[in-house]
Structure 1
Amino acid sequence: ETDFKDIETSVQKLFSIIVVDYYKFFVLILILAVISIYIFIIRPTDIYLEKAKEIIKIYRKRLKRFNRKLQEYKTAIDTSSLVSKTDPEGNITYVNQSFCDVSGYSREELIGKSHNIVRHPDVPKEVFRELWETITSKRIWKGVIRNIRKDGREYYMNTTIIPILHEDNKNIKEFLSIRSDVTEIMRHRSQMVRQNIDEVTKLPNRQKLLIDLNEKISNNSKLAIIKIDNLKEIKDFYGMNVINRIILNIVEIFKNILSQHGVTLYRIDNFEFALFQNSNFENDFLIKIENLIRYFDHNILRIDDMDFSISITIGISRGDIRNIIFNAEFALQQAIEQNRDLVVLDSIDEIEQDFRKNIEMTNKLKKAITEGNIVIFGQEIVPNFEELPYKKYEVLIRMVDGEKVISPFFFLNIAKKARLYPTLTKIVIRKSFAYFQDREDEFSINLNMEDILNSEILETLREEIISNRMGHRVILELVESEKIENFDTVNRFIQDFKSLGCRIAVDDFGTGYSNFEYLMKMDIDVIKIDGSLIKNIDKDVNAQLVVKLIADFAKSKGIQTVGEFVDRESVLQKLKELGIDYSQGFYLAKPEKLI
């Protein structure tokens, strides 16, 4: 029993020890768990929260800066741009102050309206149709739109329209439009365009030609310069209104003949056009040019009830692109001087050859002057009726070069450039009086404006008339009368020499529409009708009407008439029928050497 109690006591002690230790162990475990929770859960969460707070703080600062920047951008856009918003139907829901300032409308006048309120009526409907189709397809539209202010003034907007979608990215919520005022830029651009466009024809002008040549020229380039030959005379007689109508008709003819052949047409001067082609269709270009010449040779231009005979002269440059415009102008000048419809210049070598020929001809002229080989020929002017006095001669200049007799066609222009022309005129004057002093025939000496303005020539002429007492047999024939501009000077010349007994003739009458004006302003005794009216007068009814008008007018003024370039009997008979006093031409008499 004692032993049992000892055992029981020992067990109780052991149990108590175990309970106490278990409790301690449990507490230990609990403490460890708490520590673990703190270490692994609570403490990291606090750290993360702190870090999250720091991040949020950073992003709040960034968001604040972003909002400030956004506000600055909005202010900048509002200040510099016109901003508007519309609903999906296109009705204005918002406009900024700049929109109101530029358009002239108040915000109240704009809200609820469509942009048609500022739409310019001249803008094609297709522009707005394309715009609307673009933005309603959820695409951005960009372009320049011409608008109109409330006061009627126009302005231009560089416009961007952006569709704003709902959160579902499917349906359009509104349209945002941002515009910048480009009115001054467009006006400047328009001014630049106007500077490159001819006002009458709306064709590109000389300045645009130079730009295009600089940008587009190639080895295949060809340039033609076209001169409308007799527009100056038409202008002098009919004025600029008729001229502009003629010009517009000519442009339409050019376009019809040149259509679809890659040729650009320019108006580079009052009476000059240019054609530029930048392709290798060489033959096609020349064929079109020839078609132009042929058209004007065979057709009359009719404006209202007025008929105009228009001719053209053309110079073409090809091959040498370095000097294409210079070459074309030189070719045109050659065509004019040689009385040809067309001259084609392939390279600068041809110009150099012409320069060498000019130098050679100048040397021949100087030698002929020194050696007395400038001679005069005379062509007889025959009366068409027996009661008229017989004979008259027109004095003509020639140059003798060895066995050859050279026409003034080949040397007069060169003589003018070499300043030898006054010397030639004085030789003609002196030799004419020397030949006719012992004869009774009347004779005419050709003078142009250069002669009339040259005091030495006039003094030589005056001395010969007075010393030979031949004024009553001298006819002073004014050639190149279309160049007469100072009628006061010409009239003083006429009065001066008519006081010495001379008579005054006008050459090439009828080729210029200003000729009748000359008759009203100058005291003329003889009209020489131009060969272009005479050569086909036996067939050309229009020429007959013009010549008949001239003849009747001349008779009413007591002026004698001469028909030039008579080359056949039928022409001579028609002149007689029309009442022309005298005839001149190879059919009647060829020029013969006088002295």
Structure 2
Amino acid sequence: MIKDIFNLKAKEFYIGFLMVSIIIFGYIYSIMPTLEETFQKKLINLTVESIEDLSENVIDHILSFTGNEDLVDSIVKNRELLQKTEKLLAILITKHTKYVYIVFKKGKTYRYLVDGSREDKAIPGEIFEPLRSDIWDEVLETGKPRIIMQSGIDIIGFTYLKPIIQNNKVKAILAIDYSAKTIKEIKEIINTTKILIEGILVTSFVFLNIIIYGAIKNIYLRKKAYIDNLTKTYNRNYLEDMASLLNPASYHVALIDLDDFKKINDTYGHDVGDLVLKKIAETIKSSVRKDEDIVIRYGGEEFLVLIKAGRKDKKASINAAERLLRDIRNRKIDINGEEISVTASIGLNIYTERSHSIYDAIKKSDIALYQAKANGKNRIEIYSEKRADQSGYITIGEIQRFLEEKRFICHYQPIVDLHTNKTSHFEALVRFIDEDGNIIYPNKFIPVIENTFLYSRLTKSVIEYNRNILKKHKDLKISINLSPSDLFTDAIIKLLEEVAVQDKLSDRLILEIIENESITSYEKMQNALLRLKSFGYKIGIDDFGSGYSNFIYLITLDVDFLKIDANIIKSIHKDRISYIVTETINNFCKKTDIKTIAEYVENEDIYRMVKSLGIDYGQGYYFSRPVPLEEILKQE
């Protein structure tokens, strides 16, 4: 009897719980689109605030170049001033703001004045046809900034228009094209929540249906995660997950890059650009074998084609690449009655049997693609081992042998506290040693092994090498370099955990993350850095300002120090732009409690300059060249 009453109350409670759950989760589900839109608006506002501050500073410096002379006339007539302005605009270039330019209006026609973009640069005086001329006209008339939104699947994109006012008159407009994928955390949280709510709602009705539904949904999402939303080709998630299963000897690799694609976006807008990508993707898919070849959207306008082939199929793969080039060239795309076409450059690797991984094979295709671009575009270049050897790089086989035989050492360069002029710590810089005792420097082997298993193996070897040194010498403090790919390698994270937990060395081993284009997932990177910081490590960003810097994501990464790139520091004492960039970075770091290190302090002039700016630490030949450990120990 008691059991029956208990069961009855349990059923009533269960029914009530389900009804309340349905109402709550139904409400949450209904507001998901609004929640997503709110997150996106906040992201745009944060980005605009960051751009606003930097652009205002850049405009002030541009106007200081011209003084009281007319801005447009001065830049048009003075080539040196044009080049200075281009360099200054480059400050605004980030991972997501690739295109920055100044436009002026002459009569009824808009024309480029200065283009600070690093690729597909417009010629000064070239006609510029804005997509929304009414908004551009409004900026000229009112002197107030405006934003032109660009819509796209999974894309936040906009053009920020900032008037350049001289003598109370708008002389030109500074335009910054911003385009970035929606923050993954937002998408993942919202998608996961949607799926969870759907599951709960279905479970409320039939338990069996939720099992079936969950299984179908899981398969669907797994497939969706591998498909690029725009082009319906595979994406890089597919490549990352399948890389270990892809035997490079079974495929020939073609890397395709659409030529001058920026001009399409500038002329017709990002919507048309997306349409062109979609149509070209259809062309590529129709040109390859559906069940054998693999098409991957590798980058913005880059496609990767893995051509199923064997050692004897080289001619067939060359024919396939030629067919791809021809079909892309011949594809006519209708844009409101106007037919446009594009060309492509292709890097082809038909010697993949010599590659140790699919990434190694792709890297060689990328080298060939670079040659195709350099040789005039709209062509195919086939990777050649002989051409690669002429660069002076050592081979992958030699690198593998050096690692197996432990033929490497680290030299150490001091990092000096500029407030006390005392050494703070030493950066470990790896070198290989050949059979004759000659030292081989990183520029001869790092480019060869990037994105290969050997790079991770080298990183682990360097960690172990310095782990042993720190155990022996209790007063030493050392920093080592890690690439973003190292942060995503479980074996490296586990090794660093052992060094911290077992050896208690995390307070004397500093980690410098190399800041480059391979930072493709700030979410993963942030998670990895948070884990390392929980072990007690200090984290820094190396080579900041080398071309892909992003101040917004720098804040989210919560780093302890930032090392300003040598290419900026080396000219700080004789180039005003370098000085302004350094000053801007240093001021930003002061406000966010991030320590700064100046690389390439080569002489007293540079030393005095960085010290006067209040930079915290310096590194360079002015203090010491990288030296063997024995020399450091002698000095102590």
TM over 0.5: no
**TM-score where L is the length of structure 2:** 0.42
Larger radius of gyration: 1
